[in-house]
Amino acid sequence: MATYLPTGSQQKFWGKLEATDAYNTFVPMVAADALPLMSLEITPSTEFHEIKERRGSASLSGEVKGKEGGTWSAMAYIKPEGTTITTMPDIGDLLHAAFGEQNTSGDVSYFLHTSNVEHFAPQSLQFVRRAGPYHYESIAGCWVESVEFDINTEIPTVSFSGGYSSRAYAYGALVNNGSGIVADATTVELDAGQAEKFAAGSYIQFNDGGTIKNGGGTAGYEITGVNTTTDVLTISPAIHSVADAPISDNSVIEGLDLTQTLTTNDPVSGVGSEFKIGTYSGEVAQGFISFKVTMATGIKGLSDEASSAVATRLILGERRITGEFSCYALSSSTTTLDIMSHIGNGPNGTPVSLICRAGVGTSQARCVLNVPAARLDVVPIEVPEAEEAIVTCSFTAQRRAADGDEFHIDFS
């Protein structure tokens, strides 16, 4: 196996919702689970607790392993599916996990409630990142803690972040089964010291002299056990007797590489977007420079149980939605040029309705962000020495008429 260094340009991503009865259970991905992410950052964490027994020495005598888990973050362009108005975007599962409800009855909408009944059962996710044949990572039991939409004159983006329970990986090695791997085998022997490059839950394939052997299709082989003492991997299913066997000695064990089924349309453009502000159902379009809204979902993993090293379930805590918009500080008797009447109303605390459309007004090429009751903060008006005055106003979303109605988005 040649020396290999993963590069960012080789990254590919997959992800999907976990089944409600299979939290934190690694499952195989398929081509349709592909995600067109700009980035996916995975930050693992393992606690080690010092042994504080006094033995007549100032040296640390050892440590005991504690809790495990980690955090993740991802960024994507805002991109509708583009061909069918009721088909979810490629990142639909991430939005579904963040909001709780996906509705495809007339378009694709994401809500915090269903028929005014608020969602209290968070949904979990699973992700896979591959950066070439020798770098495969998967995280399971993932939850969305924050989602942020950023609309400006460039390409609008959406960013996600949260935590996860378990992580699996496969960093590449050579088969060392003497004469190779025969049909129906469930173990793979490695060179000494190589088993540490794998973790249970990852999916692999074999590169046998340039021929990819992945289980007779694209599902790959799941690593179900890793013995770092004997350098042996246990896999499932057994080696496919027709498509793959035998697998030659010194074949390369790679992270599974799946095809990707993604929409072919472009992300929406920030140019041609629209911002409206005013009374609910009476919003008036205003010129704007940027619009940003951040939802702290309140979702968290319960990780303090002594009976488990990782978070065992998700719960919904307190949700908060905040944001800001920037406009030229225009004041006029014309409502479409009078942002200052809303800024001036800030000290009164009267909520206003905010609607920001990312993309042009064309159907299947837009995403609309709706904040029906936003309290605007009192903000300073900075007048520069020679340039035009710009006002940046932050806001906090409130419940308007029903629990969970403070924020929703539509791909229409």
pLDDT tens, position by position, 388-411: 999 999 999 999 999 999 999 999
Q: What is the pLDDT of residue 34?
A: 97
Q: Are strands 290-296 and 282-286 parallel, antiparallel or unpaired?
A: unpaired
Q: Tokens 């409130």, residue?
A: 398
Question: What's the rounded mean pLDDT across residues 315-329?
Answer: 96
Q: What is the pLDDT of residue 178?
A: 83
Q: What is the pLDDT of residue 1?
A: 59
Nearest in space to 12 (alpha carbons), one of 31, 124, 401: 31
Question: What's the rounded mean pLDDT across residues 37-54?
Answer: 96
Considering only residues 296 and 118, tell me which one the structure prediction assigns the higher pLDDT: 296
Percent of the chain with pLDDT over 90: 87
With a cut of 90, say whether residue 339 has pLDDT above it: yes
Q: What is the pLDDT of residue 126?
A: 98
| Helices vs. strands in the chain: H and E counts, helices first | 2, 29
pLDDT tens, position by position, 73-83: 999 999 999 88
Helix H or strand E segment including 97: helix 92-99
Q: Are strands 166-170 and 136-151 parallel, antiparallel or unpaired?
A: antiparallel
Average pLDDT, the chain: 94
With a cut of 70, say whether residue 2 has pLDDT above it: no
pTM for this prediction:
0.94
Nearest in space to 258 (alpha carbons), one of 157, 138, 352, 121: 138
Q: What is the pLDDT of residue 383?
A: 87
Question: What's the rounded mean pLDDT across residues 205-215?
Answer: 95
Q: What is the pLDDT of residue 284?
A: 96
Q: Where are the domains positioned within the chain? A: 176-250, 274-295+320-411
Q: Which two tokens stand for residue 27?
A: 């499952």
Q: Tokens 């939409």, residue?
A: 149
pLDDT tens, position by position, 229-240: 999 999 999 999
Q: Are strands 221-227 and 232-236 parallel, antiparallel or unpaired?
A: antiparallel
Angle at 208 between CA 202 and CA 211, to 5 degrees: 95
With a cut of 70, say whether residue 268 has pLDDT above it: yes
pLDDT tens, position by position, 152-161: 999 999 999 9
Q: Which two tokens stand for residue 357?
A: 């459309």
With a cut of 90, say whether residue 169 has pLDDT above it: yes
Query: Could you tell me where the beta strands, DSSP code E, fall in 228-366?
Result: 232-236, 252-255, 274-279, 282-286, 290-296, 299-301, 314-316, 320-328, 352-358
Question: What's the rounded mean pLDDT across residues 98-117?
Answer: 92
Question: What's the rounded mean pLDDT across residues 232-258?
Answer: 95
With a cut of 90, say whether residue 326 has pLDDT above it: yes
